């Protein structure tokens, strides 16, 4: 069998290689291999005091550090019986991280595929306005993260049971930053919708965490085929286990849109309507557009979350042992953290990242898409599969946890 | 004048430090106007270069491949910067056998932190381009806490490793009331032997949170 191999995929997070195996000029299999050794965070958590664990777990991934930190915090809070209450500051920090990552992904990683440049730096002299928009979006997200969590990566101050206090002055800064970003967000969605996207579809299963709003940190795990289970204990739930074994669901922006597009904010809804894209949508390449719509939606949702921020008391742990699970939406999809704690010490830890759902789906889609390009030059095949791979927004840093 | 060539490389880690270098996008773009960014896989397709002026490497050594890659970069680069706690101390994963970069290759400069600070990175790169010494100053996080008048974590009964650790972070963690775990590594002259007595708590088990206690040979 002949092999087409990309030994280090570029414009993605982390390290992986991609191989397409060809037999008699048809694609036999597509395979992603992580080229970064596992760092074994599940092991690293064992024997640690529970307070230390979120600060460890955020280090799973530089781009999803807020999501991992909060999934870890919330799972431990559940295990130790902290009172659960609405926490708009935490919501806002997840919102900021998703915007930060989507803008990075779309501009630095995706757009060069469609403009034929090796990087955004090359595109810059030709389209200053576009790049300025990217910078503004990223600066807004960075500013919110820094105000709420002290810095834009590996958050501070989101400890077990604590509520983040934000001053009125800071709230005003966050509000202004969000308002400044709405126009560039609209432009981004328009631009992404205008990219020529290959028509392709596979009716996969799409899963996300969703409560009354979108996206949510406390709702059930739901899927397009009707799964609807509480996140506590989800790892042991028969429905989830069967799904993971038989048909690992796609997670991420497109999954959230496919499940919850009815809950979109007014401006996001407008952007969808103008694009004439219909949701649910089973073209994985539309994840890029879904991300750009989410950015608008999250900015508007962020404004609402700001209004709900108020001074609340900390809710201290009521016991020193227990079992807790939390599922959180990161920019790249659902992540689940699960801990068993005894005498304040972590005895067992389990982490599921978005890639555990998405890598297999990418491989299936790539196998289906590959025949369209097999007669082309190697560069063409690499480009087209690269577009699909980047649309999935895979994160090999998370995957090597 | 020939434009200096800078390469950005990643080994085993969370990938965050290289993302931090891109955080101040406007400044990063300006950097791209005065140097050739010959390699930066996170944001750029590129072919390996055989001659690089400055190589910036994040991450620890976790496999034979990591080691080979580090050696190859060292061969091509005139100067090598170890970027962040994983490259300098091995990082949080060092308990699983991951090693700091200097166990595999010679390092010329450190830029510390978990993650590194975007502003500090840009300042140090700019300084290095005009031939300045960018060594870390022997100052502890206490100096920054005092300067900014943050309440002392140790006095409040909280865990703090800042009195052992290199400054430069602006005392980010204490500013939010979060433990300082010493992500920038411990100073050469720090009083590690008395750490438990000074902090009034047993903090021995936290001294290797980011890897080896001492970032330097």
Q: Lowest mean pLDDT of A135-139, A321-325, B161-165, B175-179, name the range.
A: B175-179
B98/A65 Cβ within 8 A: no
Q: Is A44 left (phi over 0), alpha (psi -120 to 50) or beta?
A: alpha
Q: Is the dihedral of CA A65, A67, A71, A74 positive or negative?
A: positive
Q: Tell me whether residues A61 and B42 touch, CB distance under 8 A.
A: no
- pLDDT over 90 percentage in chain B: 80
What is the pLDDT, as a whole number, of residue A324?
A: 96
Q: What is the ipTM of this complex?
A: 0.95
Minimal CA–CA distance to A267: which of A304, A314, A235?
Answer: A304
State the best of B21, B25, B47, B86 to mutate against chain A, taking most chain A CBs within 10 Å: B25
* CA contacts within 13 A on the Cβ side of B63: 14
- In angstroms, the separation between the Cα of residue B25 and the nearest Cα of chain A is 6
A153 to chain B, any CB pair closer than 8 A? The answer is yes
Q: Would you say the C-alpha torsion B183, A66, A193, A224 has a positive or negative sign? A: positive
Cis peptide before A395 (omega within 30 of 0): no
Give the model's pLDDT for residue B217: 41
DSSP one-letter code for B196: H
C-alpha–C-alpha distance, residues B107 and B101, integer Å: 8
Secondary structure (DSSP) of A352-372: E-HHHHHHHHHHHHHHHHGGG
Whether A40 contacts B96, CB under 8 Å: yes
Alpha carbon of residue A237 to chain centroid: 23
**A382 domain residue, yes or no:** yes
DSSP assignment letter at B3? P
Q: What is the DSSP string of A260-312?
A: HGGG--HHHHHHHHHHT--SS---GGGHHHHHHHHHHHHHHHHHHHHHH----
For residues A71 and A203, what is the distance between their CA atoms, to the nearest angstrom? 29
Angle at A48 between CA A331 and CA B207, to 5 degrees: 100
- What's the pLDDT band for B213 if we cut at 50, 70, 90? low
Q: Say if A34 is an interface residue toward chain B (CB within 8 Å).
A: no
Dihedral sign for Cα atoms in the order A167, A172, A177, A183: positive
Residues B84-95, mean pLDDT to the nearest whole number = 96
Query: When comparing pLDDT for B176 and A102, which is higher?
Result: A102
In this model, does residue B7 exceed pLDDT 70?
yes
pLDDT in tens, B115-128: 999 999 999 999 99
A37 and B63 in contact by Cβ < 8 A?
A: yes
A152 CB within 8 Å of a chain B CB: yes
Q: Which of B70, B74, B52 is nearest to B61 (CA)?
A: B70
- Asked whether the predicted pLDDT for residue B105 surpasses 80, the reply is yes
Mark yes or no for CB contact A37/B114 under 8 Å.
Answer: no
B172 to chain A nearest CA, in Å? 6
pLDDT at residue A3, as a whole number: 87
Give me the pLDDT at residue B181, please: 93
Interatomic CA distance for residues A393 and A102, integer angstroms: 9
Is residue A330 within 8 angstroms of chain B, CB to CB?
Answer: no
In this prediction, residue B215 carries a pLDDT of 44
3-state secondary structure string across B89-132: HECHHHHHCCECHHHCCCCCEEECECCECHHHHHHHHHHHHCCC
Q: Are strands B52-58 and A228-229 parallel, antiparallel or unpaired?
A: unpaired
Count of C-beta atoms within a 10 Å radius of residue A377: 9
| Among the partner residues A40, A154, A159, nearest to B96 by beta-carbon distance | A40
Distance of CA A67 to the CA centre of its chain: 8
Neighbours of B63 (CB within 10 A): 15
- Residue A176's pLDDT band, with cuts at 50, 70 and 90, is very high
Q: Cα–Cα distances in Å, from A346 out to A78, B100, B131?
A: 14, 27, 48
Q: Exposed, middle or buried by CB within 10 Å (0-12, 13-18, 19+), for A194?
A: exposed
Q: CA-to-CA distance for A258 and A252, rounded, in angstroms?
A: 10
Chain A residues within 8 A of B114 when measuring between CB atoms: 59, 154
Question: N- to C-terminal Cα distance for chain A?
Answer: 32
- Sign of torsion, CA A149 A151 A156 A158? positive
- What is the C-alpha to C-alpha distance for residues B10 and B100, in angstroms, rounded to an integer? 13
Beta pairing class for A345-352 and A333-342? antiparallel
Q: Above 50 in pLDDT, residue A148?
A: yes
In a domain, A196, yes or no: yes
Contact between B101 and B61 under an 8 Å Cβ cutoff? The reply is yes
The shares of helix, strand and coil residues in chain A, as percent rounded to the nearest 5, are 50, 15, 35
Residue A98 above 60 pLDDT? Answer: yes
Contact assignment for B16 to A43 by CB distance below 8 Å: no
- A302: CATH: 1.10.645.10
Yes or no: domain B5-129 corresponds to CATH 3.40.50.700: yes
Asked whether the beta carbons of residue B45 and residue A11 sit closer than 8 angstroms, the reply is yes
| CA distance linking residue A79 with residue B9, whole number of Å | 39
**Distance (Å, rounded) from C-alpha A387 to C-alpha A290?**
15
How many residue contacts between A and B have a Cβ separation below 8 Å? 130
pLDDT band per the 50, 70, 90 thresholds, residue A25: confident
Instruction: Give dist(CA B80, CA A191) in Å, integer.
Output: 39
* Number of domains within chain A: 1
Domain region containing A48: 41-399
Per-residue CA distances from B69 to A118, B11, B61, B73, B76 (Å): 22, 8, 9, 6, 11
Instruction: Tell me whether residue A224 is in a domain.
Output: yes
Q: Domain ranges for chain B, please list them.
A: 5-129, 141-212
Instruction: Report residue B216's pLDDT band, with 50, 70 and 90 as the boundaries.
Output: very low
Residue A108 lies in a domain: yes
Give chain A's radius of gyration (CA, Å): 21
């Amino acid at each position: 069998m002949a092999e087409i191999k990309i030994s280090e995929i570029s414009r993605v997070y982390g390290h992986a290689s991609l191989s397409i195996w060809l037999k008699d000029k048809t694609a036999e299999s597509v395979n992603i291999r992580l080229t970064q050794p596992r760092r074994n965070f599940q092991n690293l958590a064992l024997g640690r005091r529970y307070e230390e664990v979120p600060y460890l777990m955020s280090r799973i991934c530089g781009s999803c550090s807020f999501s991992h930190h909060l999934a870890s915090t919330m799972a431990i809070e559940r295990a130790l019986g902290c009172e659960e209450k609405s926490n708009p500051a935490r919501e806002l920090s997840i919102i900021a991280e998703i915007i930060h990552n989507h803008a990075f992904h779309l501009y630095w990683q995706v757009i060069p595929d469609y403009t034929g440049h090796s990087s955004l730096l090359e595109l810059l002299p030709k389209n200053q306005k576009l790049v300025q928009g990217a910078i503004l979006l990223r600066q807004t997200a960075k500013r919110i993260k820094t105000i709420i969590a002290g810095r834009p990566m590996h958050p501070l101050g989101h400890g077990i049971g604590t509520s983040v206090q934000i001053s009125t002055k800071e709230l005003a800064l966050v509000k202004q930053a969000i308002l400044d970003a709405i126009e560039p967000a609209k432009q981004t969605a328009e631009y992404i919708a205008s990219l020529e996207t290959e028509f392709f579809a596979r009716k996969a299963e799409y899963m996300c965490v969703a409560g009354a709003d979108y996206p949510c940190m406390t709702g059930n795990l739901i899927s397009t085929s009707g799964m609807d289970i509480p996140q506590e204990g989800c790892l042991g739930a028969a429905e989830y286990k069967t799904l993971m074994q038989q048909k690992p669901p796609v997670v991420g922006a497109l999954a959230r849109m496919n499940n919850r597009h009815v809950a979109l904010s007014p401006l996001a809804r407008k952007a969808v309507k103008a694009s004439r894209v219909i949701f649910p949508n089973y073209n994985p390449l539309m994840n890029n557009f879904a991300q750009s719509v989410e950015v608008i939606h999250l900015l508007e949702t962020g404004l609402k979350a700001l209004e709900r921020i108020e001074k609340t008391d900390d809710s201290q742990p009521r016991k020193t042992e227990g079992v807790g699970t939390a599922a959180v939406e990161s920019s790249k999809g659902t992540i689940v953290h699960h801990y068993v704690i005894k005498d304040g010490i972590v005895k067992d830890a389990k982490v599921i990242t978005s890639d555990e759902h998405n890598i297999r789906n990418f491989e299936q889609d790539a196998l289906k898409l590959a025949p369209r390009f097999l007669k082309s030059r190697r560069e063409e095949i690499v480009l087209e599969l690269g577009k699909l791979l980047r649309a999935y927004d895979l994160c090999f840093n998370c995957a090597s946890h | 004048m020939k434009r200096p060539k800078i390469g950005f490389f990643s080994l085993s880690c969370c990938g965050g430090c290289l993302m931090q270098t891109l955080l101040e996008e406007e400044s990063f773009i300006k950097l791209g106007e005065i140097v050739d960014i010959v390699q930066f896989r996170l944001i750029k397709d590129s072919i390996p270069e055989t001659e690089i002026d400055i190589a910036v490497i994040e991450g620890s050594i976790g496999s034979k491949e990591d080691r080979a890659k580090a050696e190859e970069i060292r061969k091509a680069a005139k100067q090598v910067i170890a970027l962040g706690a994983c490259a300098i101390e091995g990082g949080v994963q060092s308990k699983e056998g991951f090693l700091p970069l200097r166990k595999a290759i010679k390092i010329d400069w450190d830029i510390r932190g978990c993650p590194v600070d975007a502003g500090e990175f840009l300042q140090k790169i700019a300084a290095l381009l005009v031939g300045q010494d960018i060594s870390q100053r022997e100052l502890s996080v206490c100096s920054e806490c005092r300067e900014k008048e943050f309440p002392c974590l140790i006095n409040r009964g909280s865990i703090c490793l800042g009195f052992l650790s290199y400054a430069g972070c602006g005392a980010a963690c204490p500013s939010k009331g979060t433990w300082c775990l010493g992500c920038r590594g411990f100073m050469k002259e720090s009083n590690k032997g008395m750490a438990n007595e000074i902090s009034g708590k047993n903090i021995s088990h936290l001294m290797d949170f980011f890897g080896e206690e001492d970032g330097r040979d």
